[in-house]
Structure 1
Amino acid sequence: MTDEQLLTRPIVILGAPRSGTTLLSQLLKFHPQVYLANEPRILWKYGNDSKSDALQPSDARPEVVSHIRGEFASQIRAAGRERLVEKTPSNSLRVGFVDRVLPDAIYIHIMREGTESVLSIRKFWEQHATGVGGTTRRQIMRRVKEIKLRQVPYYAGEFTRRMMSKVVPSNKPRGVWGPRLPGIQEMVRDLDPLEVAAWQWRMCVEHVCRVGRTLPPERYTESRLEEFDEAEFERLLAFCQLESTPEVKEGFASKFQARPAQARSDAAESDEVKLVRELIAPTTTWLASLEPLARHRQ
């Protein structure tokens, strides 16, 4: 198959961190046609490494588009698969850019209740932004392979800051985790991690909803983690024009576990829950005002 054929109707999973994007991508990965590109963060920044993750359509210059598409096609071909599924939460800040790179992509935006998502994001900040302890050797090697020579200066500092945390421990994050918002270094320096997490959730959700809802209905859909079940997964498969194969059914049965909707909120301090709800109120109010997106279960 040609590169163009391998990149026909790629499936792009969008969503703020800790919102269910990993669950959905892992379920789709069971499909025998699918190749999952799991958070190739550095590949997406090729040619725009000095910028935040909020890339604009104009940043998708011909050489950038050619490089990213070529890498994806090579990976799909090497895996012996036929269809790309891509999951990188940072893409939730740059849907227009992604659409220039993958112009016939279809998008699934999976959302989670804001308070739960923000509390979970903050937990990951505490675990993963203060060093490399939570990073496996396999993940490190994947990142190293992803980096091209011209990109090394942009990421050497980030790696050094994380390594320094093993020598000089700190309660403040040394590195940056999750979507790189504009000005995030200053946010990490000046704000509480809970506030940074709230901004990450708000900017991702608002951008995807605003841009995604301008796309034709056959190219964009939304799903709620709290409502996710086998019937909803079947709907998403049909949206992606993927058959519900035995491998997918078995994978769903082994992987999916319904979780309490308010588990994080119930475990958190009440003052933290109150603060998060105040921080995200503008977005939750705006979301509630939106017209429901037409979704028909197949």
Structure 2
Amino acid sequence: MSDPVIIVGAPRSGTNMLRDVLSALTGFATWDCDEINLIWKHGNIGVPHDELTAEDARPEVATYLRKAFADFGRKHRADVVVEKTCATSLRVGFVAAALPDARYVFIRRDGIDATASAIKRWNAPFDLRYTLKKVRYVPARDFPVHFASFVGKKVKQLRTGTAGIADGQTKVETWWGPRPHDFRELMQQHTLEEAAFIQWQRCVERSREDFNSLPDDRMIEVVYEDFVKDPDAGLREILGFLGRDDAYDPTATKNVRNSSVGKGRATLGSDVTARLDAIGHDTLAALGYA
């Protein structure tokens, strides 16, 4: 039986990097697509947001998710199944109820750096190869609903002229990434840069709240800025937490770079940074970023 390891983090906070590092190790495996949010939402497809709770992990939902992880582990002969979906940062309690044996690697990054990076992804042009990889893991009976939602989003982007737009001052016309319960109101009330920052803030705050209810030995917290500064030490610490010291491989971190630290703040400039800080100062300060 494979051990599930769930990487939790807001968008553009190093979750992809960490997944790639861990899945490069012998005995570790992960899905060959960016995220499996549509698997996580199976059984709760009618919930328009990602803030699922333990009550949403009904027996049939938990059984489905456990089977998905077990089948994947057997297929790939993996000792550890690594999974990264950013929306999980809004539903750790749900995942803990569905996968009671899972352990978590929570990675956090300066919210303003993460916001600057997320803005570039928000209205990104259609990528067929990326989309087809994710489609392979859509539960069959959920496909019509997800397809209709996807087409509707792309049509709206084309109609409003926001496809490919990365101007943080523009209004949000379609949502990208983890959906808080009030994401529709956030779209109406905020610019893209504000919505992306609030998304980061909600993901981090909800994750920290849910982790408070789990035993300490279920979660390790990783600071992005520290990890990219010394990825070798960071990897060793994570493997120690997982009890997998023997899996260490120095080549797993060969592509980790620290060039993005502080880049987002510089790109956004002092005026935007000050405005975002005013929105989420308490959260930034609690994490040492203010």
**Could you tell me the TM-score, scaled by structure 2's length?**
0.87
Question: 1:39 corresponds to which letter in structure 2?
Answer: E
Alignment of 1:1-298 (within 5 A): 5-6=1-2, 8=3, 10-37=4-31, 38-51=34-47, 52-126=49-123, 128=124, 131-132=125-126, 135-137=127-129, 139-164=130-155, 168=159, 170-171=161-162, 175-228=174-227, 229=230, 230-245=232-247, 248-253=249-254, 255-287=255-287
Contact 1:13/1:87 (8 A) holds in 2: yes
Structure 1 residues without counterparts, runs of 5 or longer:
289-298
The answer to whether the 8 Å contact 1:106/1:219 transfers is yes
Structure 2 distance, partners of 1:214, 1:208, is 10
| Distance (whole Å) between structure 1 residues aligned to residue 70 and residue 206 of structure 2 | 27
* Distance in 2 of aligned mates of 1:204 and 1:110: 11
The one-letter amino acid of 2:5's match is I
How big is the shift at 1:244? 4.8
Please tell me the root mean square deviation across aligned C-alpha atoms, in Å. Answer: 2.2
SS at match of 2:81: strand
**Which amino acid in 1 is paired with 2:233?**
A
Q: Matched residues in 2 for 1:136 and 1:239: separation?
A: 38
- Residue of structure 1 equivalent to 2:166: none
SS of 2:284 mapped into structure 1: helix
* Structure 1: distance between partners of 2:122 and 2:86: 15
Distance 1:78 1:174, change over 3 A: farther
The equivalent of 1:293 in structure 2 is: none
Shift of 1:67: 1.0
**Are the counterparts in 2 of residues 50 and 154 from structure 1 also a CA contact under 8 Å?**
no
Number of equivalent positions: 275
**Cα deviation, residue 155, structure 1:** 1.5
Please list every run of 5 or more consecutive structure 2 residues that lacks an aligned counterpart in the other structure.
163-170
Most deviating of 264-273 and 82-91: 264-273
What residue in structure 1 maps to residue 165 of structure 2? none
Identity %: 30
Partners of 1:15 and 1:235 in 2: how far apart? 18
SS in 2 for 1:64: helix
TM-superposed CA distance for 1:165, in Å, is: 5.5
